[in-house]
Amino acid sequence: MGASPAKSNWENTTMAIGRITEEYEPREDKLPEWAQRKLGLLRQLLADERKASAALRGDIEHTDTLIRHHEIRPDHLLPAGSEITFVPDLSFPHRAIDCKLRDGWLEIYGERAIVVRPRQNNGLSVGLEG
């Protein structure tokens, strides 16, 4: 069997990181001008999308809190320790249920007394009294 052809540094880099980079590749000089312009435009669009994505994420590295959108759109990460407020009836915005994670436990606070009802062996319902 013959030896497989050696991969170029560009192929190794691309395969190693597994994503498109915004870096210039010297081989691009051999491409037609229209292709070079297209690559430049694509790199700019990629950079813009990455910047917008980072802004939406808030550049959050580690978190224990996110908003799950159930496949409508990607999850939205919140800073660790964020408090989430649920308002069951928007006509009474002061009647809220506040939740946050602390030391691995979900803490729940209510404007009024909280009612907890078991649902299954792995679930429960929480609401405000009255």
pLDDT at 18 over 50: no
Task: Give dist(CA 18, CA 115) in Å, integer.
Answer: 49
Cross-strand bridge partners of residue 99: 84, 108
Residue pLDDT, tens place only, 20-48:
556 778 888 898 999 988 988 888 888 88
Comparing 55 with 119, the larger pLDDT belongs to 119
Task: Give dist(CA 2, CA 92) in Å, integer.
Answer: 76
Q: Tell me, what's the pLDDT at 104?
A: 87
For the whole model, what pTM was predicted?
A: 0.45
Task: Give dist(CA 2, CA 128) in Å, integer.
Answer: 74
Q: Is residue 39 within 8 Å of 47, Cβ to Cβ?
A: no
Q: Name which of 44, 41, 57, 46 is nearest 20 in CA terms.
A: 46
Task: Give dist(CA 23, CA 80) in Å, integer.
Answer: 33
Residue pLDDT, tens place only, 46-102:
888 877 777 766 666 666 666 666 666 677 777 778 888 888 877 877 888 899 888
pLDDT at 123 over 70: yes
Q: Is residue 66 within 8 Å of 78, Cβ to Cβ?
A: yes
